[in-house]
Amino acid sequence: MLSRYTSTSRGRFESGLTLIEVLVVVTILGIVAVAAVPNFSSMDEQRVELAATEVADALRFARAEAMRTGIPHGLRASATEERAQVYRLDLTAPSPAPEYSVRHPGSKRLYDLQLDRSPYGADVADVGIYYDGSSVAVDYLAFDANGVPRFATDALSLTLGQAEISVRRGDASRVVAVEPVSGRVTVR
């Protein structure tokens, strides 16, 4: 700390700082504070990236399980429920029905991503999954035993036309997309 000693008329010395010294110290503290405060928008970007990667990983897992077991697996993503769930189609039922009993390979819990409650605090902003021949968006995507994104029943077989799931937090967003023929999953 800088100090100045000045003499008073009675011979005593008093210490103090000049105005310029105070301004220099305050300026330096301001610069250090600005540098130390994290950039919250970049944190949102990172959180959205991680959340979108989790959704992409769930899709990749569903595809791999369909190919491994020969039983169609898929993902249901809901913007209203803020979640994405991996399912297996029950082929023994009269009409194939999703069975939400698939477990995450790491945690062994049900594969149910609740993004708004996760550490990422992200939202499933929009789900746009369209099968060929349909103009109505659905919230589920299934893979057949060959890993091809397809919706199939005994009487009907529809290939994927387009699949995009948007994940958002604040102003940051990412889109998880599935290629119609190959089933390749990307985050952009």
Return the pLDDT at 4: 55
Indicate whether this model's pTM tops 0.85: no
47 shares a domain with 30? no
What confidence tens digit (pLDDT) does each residue in 18-70 have? 888 888 889 998 888 777 766 555 788 999 999 999 999 999 999 999 999 99
157 shares a domain with 142? yes
155 shares a domain with 107? yes
pLDDT band at 7 (very low <50, low <70, confident <90, very high): low
182 shares a domain with 127? yes
102 shares a domain with 144? yes
> Which positions ≥6 away from 82 have C-beta within 8 Å?
114, 115, 116, 117, 123, 124
pLDDT at 15 over 80: no
Enclosing domain of residue 169: 42-187
Is residue 97 within 8 A of residue 146, CB to CB? The reply is: no
What confidence tens digit (pLDDT) does each residue in 124-143 have? 999 999 999 788 888 999 99
Task: List Cα–Cα distances, 61 to 44, 135, 160, in angstroms.
Answer: 26, 27, 18
116 shares a domain with 91? yes
DSSP 11: S
